[in-house]
Amino acid sequence: MQYQSVRAIASRLKSQFKVDMDIFDVVQGCADALKKMGYIALQRSMYQATIQNYCINLPGNVWKVRGVIRLDAPMTEAGMTITTQDIYFPPQLIFTYDESDDDFEKIKLLKDNYIPQFKGPYIDYVWDCPYVKFNETDVNVAVEVTEIKLDSEKFPMIPEPAFYGCLYYCLYIYYQPLFLLKQTDPNTMMMIEQWKERNIAQSNHGMMMESLTANERDNLFNIMTSMDRKTFGLPS
What's the pLDDT at 168? 97
206 pLDDT band, cuts 50/70/90, is: low
Distance of alpha carbon 169 from alpha carbon 201, whole angstroms: 12
Mean pLDDT score, 170-182: 96
Q: Is the pLDDT reported for residue 77 higher than 60?
A: no
Q: Which of 68, 83, 80, 84 is nearest to 141 (CA)?
A: 68
Mean pLDDT score, 122-136: 92
For the chain, the first-to-last Cα distance in angstroms comes to 33
Stretch among 25-29, 100-104, 155-159, 175-179 having the lowest mean pLDDT: 100-104
226 pLDDT band, cuts 50/70/90, is: confident
**What is the greatest pairwise CA distance in the chain?**
67
Instruction: Say what percent of the chain tops pLDDT 70.
Output: 72
Distance of alpha carbon 88 from alpha carbon 82, whole angstroms: 18
Read off the pTM.
0.73
Residue 181 CB contacts under 8 Å (≥ 6 apart), including other chains:
none
Stretch among 43-47, 103-107, 147-151 having the lowest mean pLDDT: 103-107
What's the pLDDT at 80? 44
Stronger pLDDT, 231 or 66, i.e. the higher one: 66
2 pLDDT band, cuts 50/70/90, is: confident
Q: Which of 83, 107, 102 is nearest to 93 (CA)?
A: 83
What's the pLDDT at 113? 46
Instruction: Say what percent of the chain tops pLDDT 90.
Output: 42
Q: At 109, which amino acid appears? A: L
What's the pLDDT at 210? 62
Distance of alpha carbon 81 from alpha carbon 41, whole angstroms: 23
29 pLDDT band, cuts 50/70/90, is: very high
Residue 31 CB contacts under 8 Å (≥ 6 apart), including other chains:
156, 221, 224, 225
What's the pLDDT at 39? 83
What's the pLDDT at 75? 59
Q: Is the pLDDT reported for residue 193 higher than 90?
A: yes
Q: At 64, which amino acid appears? A: K
170 pLDDT band, cuts 50/70/90, is: very high
What's the pLDDT at 83? 41
